[in-house]
């Protein structure tokens, strides 16, 4: 999970993924739910739903069209609110101990969020973040937050990393990228970024405790 070659004091910037790094996620939940509650070929259904989700996460469609396409594809008699609840079922909790840790890191480094996500999820993430960490609003803990649906780019496309590097004049080998998806990690690594592949369970406090200790 953590490369021993990473030296915390040499880092200038840290880019965090959101799901699986800052908030717990069960990525397959909504797809499994829809597959279990509909007839027909489950694999084709999930493939179709993932294509809809991708369009949503790069901003090609909005909330209403996303919900309508999910209803049309699944043929389930669900309200808009039902679809939102199922879609948000992949989201878990934000560990409350992350507040002080992220605040400390921001005092020492440039910090960013770079997330493949969508408006329905972000509305719920912000609500859960506020519940778990009321003392630190999410936006105050990072220099800039980048959501895929806002910038029209999606990990692991290298263009999304090039976008943030250029926007902030980041030096790749002095920038750490943390993500739970190995494809995203490998893409960032090819551009020269330092990387950590975050495997569940989530453990940012352990990662940074180790990084601090390495520099003592």
pLDDT in tens, 19-33: 999 999 999 999 999
Q: Tell me the H-state helices in 11-97.
A: 29-36, 42-57, 63-74, 80-87
Given a cut of 50, whether residue 52 has pLDDT beyond it is yes
Rounded to an integer, what distance in angstroms lies between the CA atom of residue 69 and that of residue 51? Answer: 10
Domain residue extents for the chain: 8-25+93-214, 29-90
- Taking residue 212's Cβ as centre, other Cβ atoms within 10 Å add up to 12
Rounded CA-CA distance 40/74 in Å is: 10
CA distances from 166 to 38, 126, 129, 210 (A): 45, 27, 29, 29
CATH number of 8-25+93-214: 3.40.50.1000
> What digits encode the pLDDT tens for the residues 155-183?
999 999 999 999 999 999 999 999 999 99
pTM, 2 dp: 0.93
**Which candidate, 183, 154, 163, 180, places its Cα nearest to that of 55?**
154
State both tokens at 186.
Answer: 């490998």
Q: Cα–Cα distance between 117 and 114 in angstroms, integer?
A: 9
pLDDT band, very low/low/confident/very high, at 51 (cuts 50, 70, 90): very high
Q: In this structure, what is the dihedral angle of CA atoms 89, 91, 97, 99, given to the nearest 10 degrees?
A: -130
Is pLDDT of 3 > 70? no
Cα separation, 30 vs 49, in Å, equals 9
Query: Distance between the two ends of the chain, CA-based, in angstroms?
Result: 20
Residue 113 CB neighbours (<10 A): 20
**Nearest CA-CA partner of 146 in 112, 180, 172:** 112
């Amino acid at each position: 999970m953590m490369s021993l070659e990473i030296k915390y004091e040499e880092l200038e910037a840290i880019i965090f993924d959101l799901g699986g790094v800052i908030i717990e996620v069960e990525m397959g939940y909504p797809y499994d739910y829809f597959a279990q509650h509909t007839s027909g070929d489950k694999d084709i259904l999930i493939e179709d739903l993932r294509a809809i989700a991708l369009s949503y996460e790069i901003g090609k469609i909005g909330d209403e069209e996303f919900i309508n396409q999910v209803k049309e594809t699944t043929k389930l008699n669900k309200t808009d609110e039902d679809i939102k609840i199922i879609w948000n079922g992949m989201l878990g909790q934000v560990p409350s101990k992350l507040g002080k840790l992220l605040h400390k890191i921001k005092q020492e480094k440039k910090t960013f969020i770079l997330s493949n996500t969508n408006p329905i999820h972000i509305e719920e993430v912000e609500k859960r973040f506020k519940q778990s960490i009321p003392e630190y609003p999410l936006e105050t803990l990072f220099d800039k937050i980048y959501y895929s649906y806002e910038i029209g780019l999606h990990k692991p496309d290298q263009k999304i990393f090039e976008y943030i590097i250029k926007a902030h004049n980041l030096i790749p080998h002095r920038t750490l990228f943390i993500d739970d998806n190995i494809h995203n990690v490998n893409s960032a690594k090819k551009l020269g970024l330092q990387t950590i592949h975050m495997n569940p369970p989530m453990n940012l406090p352990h990662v940074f405790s180790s990084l601090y200790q390495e520099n003592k």
